[in-house]
Amino acid sequence: MSFRTITPKEVRAIMTDNAGEYALVDVREQGVHSEGHPFFAVPLPLSKLELRASALLPRKSAPIFILDQGPELSLGERAAEKLAELGYNEICLVEGGVVGWHDAGYELFTGVNVPSKAFGEFVEETYGTPHVTASDLAARRDAGEKIVVLDSRPFPEYHRMSIPGGVDMPGAELVHRVYETVEDEETQIVVNCAGRTRSIIGAQSLINAGVKNPVAALKDGTMGWYLAGLELAHREDAVAPFPGDQALSRSQGSAKDVAVRFGVTRIDRAQLESLREEVEDRSLYILDVRSEEEYLDGHLPDARHAAGGQLVQATDEYVAVRNSRLVLVDDDGVRGVMTASWLIQMNWPEVYVFTATEDELTATGPAPTPDIAKAPVLSALELDAVLASGEAVAVIDLATSLEYRSGHVPGAFWAIRARLAEDHIFIPAVGLIILTSTDGSLAHLAAPEIEKLRPQTIVRVLDGGTNAWAKASLAMESGETNMLSRTDDVWYKPYDTNDQEAVRRRMQEYLDWEVGLVQQIERDGLARFRKF
């Protein structure tokens, strides 16, 4: 196939004009994306494209600009072919890729979730969000001051490491649950996250909602606590309770005031149906901003889960098409409004809140996954028997490098799917190759690709992936034991290493990077955040 190209200058003009829909899609691995990309570029790695495209790009006729490393566009062309096979018909390759963008004199941003992180810094600078340092917080608590620490991250992050005594109350849940957790108006509330963004947004959410308690963000979050030489807690499970009737009524009153201040538009069922009828002309994302547990228990059939705090923190992980329509779904009239208020300030043009009734939340379980062709499989027990037999076999794990490092089938090689054409040569000559990934989906996608590369080799997929192997209580191996590809598939957090000196250095570098985003977005000129 041949695809149209578009120059960086033309893409930049479209982004500056900001009048219509477009998606600037970076098809490199996330770790490579984090090394430098345009401000609104959304990561959609070629390795996982078929699994993520429908959620990130819901309208097949939306203009898509594909970005790879450049100057050769081989990765982009491969991604364009896959998108075309999936039915997308407005595809352009950005000439020169990221190299061409840089050569044209345009800004490149390192890191991930850059628009959201930059927005957090904008909020602190614009509204003067109060903050407290880790040392000051520890001293005040030691002095007996009445303080509650609310952790604004999802539970897995909180559970991994937290401020001692902190209570997990993620993002959009803060205004929803605060009155049930903090019953008086004198207790100092401190909101923390791992770094800065969710601390700032969380604290300012409570302030915007009119919470009368003194509220502050913990400066630099758990990283700041660690860098101050203070001990972090691990594996805590103190989760804030859902609000009772009285607390919920207070939260709903606060949300009504926020809706008025920030111009949040609520819609009813008929208006939602009207938006659904226009999906051929406008991209529509229906995002359930409640907790994952609530979503799994019951949601709108066409809604995807995007917890409100995470949607603000990492918008590019849920929405790829700029200037699309966003419908935020809740069942209480609080979490949708609080999330919408921030997206409006991020200058998203069409954001709506739909508060669903119980009888409308008819779908259960996770959102449907894309249909993919299934390769022949081996069960976990069958694979275990094959490995024990001494047969010449190679297991290739296509999970993320972090997942592989955490645990994999003993002896398995690790590779990036998009690089199999180059890296398969390092696989020993064997008669049988078994592919696996976390749940097996990625392995099924890769099976026909390996068959073309190794036509004389039998290829099978581990049924249910490495999750099934672990569920069968079979032995697991950890560490970077057999690496075929470079480990630049994901962005490694500062604490994703056991080298404590490196952890401290990378934490400080990360915090400095976040603060520096304010100056960089001013140079770039694409961000148009709004102040109310």
**pLDDT score of 172:** 96
Residue 498's pLDDT is: 84
C-alpha distances out from residue 64 to 41, 84, 281, 323, 401, Å = 11, 11, 15, 13, 28
Burial class, 194, CB count within 10 angstroms (exposed 0-12 / middle 13-18 / buried 19+): buried
Q: Is 492 helix (H, G, I), strand (E, B) or coil?
A: coil
Cα separation, 192 vs 149, in Å, equals: 7
CB of 439 closer than 8 Å to CB of 356: no
The set of residues, in sequence order, having a beta carbon less than 8 Å from that of 242 and lying 6+ positions away, is 177, 180
Kindly write down the DSSP assignment for every residue of 351-378, as one continuous string.
EEEEE--GGG--B-SSPPPPP-PPPPEE
CB 116 within 8 Å of CB 316? yes
* Token digits of residue 301: 């059939």
Q: Give me the sign of the Cα torsion angle 297, 302, 304, 305.
A: negative
Q: What residues contact residue 110 under an 8 Å CB cut-off, 6+ apart?
A: 34, 35, 36, 513
Residue 72: its pLDDT value, please? 80
Tokens of 487: 């480990």
Query: Which residues of the chain are under the pLDDT cut of 50?
Result: none
CA–CA separation, 520 and 89 (whole Å): 34
pLDDT at residue number 403: 98
Alpha-carbon span 518 to 522, nearest angstrom: 6
Residue ranges of E strands in 387-485: 393-397, 413-414, 432-436, 458-462
The answer to whether the CB of 53 falls within 8 A of the CB of 44 is yes
The dihedral over CA atoms of 255, 257, 262, 267, expressed in degrees to the nearest 10, equals 60
Helix (H, G, I), strand (E, B) or coil at 16: helix
Q: How far apart are CA 431 and CA 379, in angstroms?
A: 18
pLDDT tens digits, 348-393: 999 999 999 999 999 999 999 999 999 999 999 999 999 999 899 9
Locate the DSSP E strands across 362-474. Answer: 377-378, 393-397, 413-414, 432-436, 458-462
Q: Report which of 232, 123, 144 is spatially closest to residue 188, judged by C-alpha positions.
A: 144
Q: What's residue 2's pLDDT? A: 85
pLDDT at 411: 96
∠ CA 31-2-45 to the nearest 5 degrees?
Answer: 15
